[in-house]
Amino acid sequence: MDYKHLLPSTPSRLAGPNFNSTSLKLNAIHGNLSLQTILLIGACLQTLLFLLPIPKLYSVGPAIGLLLFRIIDTVLITYNFIPNPYLKDAILKKSTAQPHDREGNFTGPGKEKVAIMLLGAKSNHPLGVFEPEFGKVGKFLRKMTEELNGDPTQDSGFLGQSAVTRKDNNGATEQVMISYWRSIDDVHRYAYSPAHLAAWRWWNDNMKKLNHIGIMHEVYEADAGMWEGVYVNFQPTLLGNTTYLKKDGELVGGEVQEEWVRPLLDANRGHLRTSMGRRGLVDKKEDVKAIYGQDAGSFETV
């Protein structure tokens, strides 16, 4: 069967989370402040405007004007007068991520095993992410990300990563990096790389004064056919945001051009429409009929 890639290949590897991006820094500031603190900052700024020797209308104008802008913008987006910015880069159909082999080729649904590592860090400190020692943790994470993304051969087994942020019950911000690898052995091998060893030694040498910093990791490995995923109206994320170096590409000008393949495939048709199919297995006839009714006849079943 012909499987359709939904995203074009790229001449260079996707960098993953950019720790130096303005948006990431603004999100860190926003996540570090409680709603109460944000409201108090706004109240103080509004009070300062009232104290200035200017007409009162000018004092309340910025807040009212910004609120009106937000309301009008929301209405225009809701009724499709202007594009929805939240849909930027979203794939408006059903898709699935299918890891490729070590040559960068897709050989069939569920053919590859996948390892997943969750790496988390949090600052249990009033200063949050602005606490100086926690800033060092961020620098180590950045160096490790740069080291992994800089591997020109992908022999490390690292496939890509995404980041999620949440607040715990005490209000502390926790960031978790979700990375994908070819095997759990690749994850353990990377633990002895220069960037991770430097972070490891720093932690061991300073552990007694780092009680306010939390770190964690979990690692799992799923055998071939024992994982699957689907995305509907989603931007590329998680396993769908990994990339694969194609090592047997065509010769151009006497050399093979570097090509990084994206793993998202069309899941609106064929085997990839169902969970069993995405695992490389065959569906039971009654299961497919229960979901797709009259369309069930187009599926391979047992």
Per-residue pLDDT reduced to its tens digit, 95-131: 999 999 999 999 999 999 999 999 999 999 999 888 9
CA–centroid distance for 32 within its chain: 20
**241 CB-near residues (< 8 Å, 6+ apart):** 14, 16, 160, 161, 162
The yes/no answer on whether domain 1-32+89-268 falls in CATH 3.30.70.100 is: yes
Bigger pLDDT: 11 or 179? 179
pLDDT tens digits, one per residue of 58-71: 888 888 999 999 99
For the chain, give every domain's residue range. Answer: 1-32+89-268, 33-86
Give this prediction's pTM.
Answer: 0.87
Q: What is the mean pLDDT of residues 29-38?
A: 84
Cα(235)–Cα(89) distance, integer angstroms: 6
Q: pLDDT averaged over the chain? A: 89
Rg (CA), the chain: 24
Q: What angle do CA 163, 165, 166 make, to 5 degrees?
A: 150
SS (H, E, C) 49-80: HHHCCCCHHHHHHHHHHHHHHHHHHHHHHHCC
Least reliable range by pLDDT among 221-225, 245-249, 252-256, 258-262: 252-256
Q: Looking at the DSSP assignment, which residues form a beta bridge with residue 174?
A: 122, 166
